[in-house]
Amino acid sequence: MKTTGFENFRKSLEDYLQKIDFVYSGDVINSIDKTYTKKLKHLSFSAEFMKEVMLDIYNYSFQKMLENSKEIVIHRNNFHDVYSLIDDVSLNPRIMFYSKNSNLNLNLGGHLLESDDNSVYLPNYFNRRFKLMSSGVEVSSYYSPLISDSEDDCHFYLIDKPIQSMVWSLQNMTYDIKRSFSSNNHTVKIPVYNCDYSALRVRVINTQKLREEKINSILYDN
């Protein structure tokens, strides 16, 4: 069935995604095909359903990045600033993902308020918050709600290339609607890409605080 409004939405979303360097033009290794189906009462294209699809691809890609990251651990007292770190690591980072904890406690440079409100197309954490410039290297920095850390064990990630190629996914997807009696099946078939990149998880730990908590935990357990 013809999906009114889909082509216009897809073109606008492609234009939007081209400005987001962590999901644009990744170095594709291979792909997997995903199918999403949702029952809706109407027979017209659903922008909200497409948002759900794109968010699932983001979550998949980010989880892959977390799993494939190499880790370095830095004691809080030895962490001077993110610029010094960028100069010291062997990776040539172009993208940084940070958490609320890492931003607040390590003074990375983001706004203190990290709102998760949705924009027209996708949540605003898809938008770059700031850029870091160090020794001629420009690092686009993004907040992510998927980073799990704490005030005394802050995490952020440095990546050298995009982790996804969402524009290609959009260009090779289909959106179909099958009429049914009580509701209609909206189905998206879309390729999701695994991309080649290197990622570094930086853990900055307050070792004194964690040592105290570990001792207390042992004492209370006994």
Looking up tokens 């234009």 gives: 15
Query: How high does pLDDT run on average in the chain?
Result: 89
Per residue in 137-162, pLDDT (tens digit) is 899 999 999 999 999 999 999 999 99
Q: What pLDDT, on a 0 to 100 scale, did the predictor assign at position 118?
A: 54
Pairwise pLDDT comparison (121 vs 192), residue with the higher score: 192
% of the chain at pLDDT higher than 90 = 64
Higher pLDDT: 96 or 25? It is: 96
Please, which residues bridge with residue 134 across strands?
Answer: 137
Show me where the domains of the chain are located.
6-221
| 21: amino acid identity, one letter | D
The Cα 140–Cα 104 span in angstroms is 18
Tens digits of per-residue pLDDT, 16-49?
Answer: 999 999 999 899 999 999 999 999 998 899 999 9
- Backbone torsions φ then ψ of 71, nearest 5 degrees: -120, 140
Query: Using H for helix, E for strand and C for coil, what is the string for 47-114?
Result: HHHHHHHHHHHHHHHHHHHHHHCEEEEEEHHHCCCHHHHHHHCCCCCCEEEECHHHHHHHCCCCCCCC
Residue pLDDT, tens place only, 34-87: 999 999 998 899 999 999 999 999 999 999 999 999 999 999 989 988 988 988
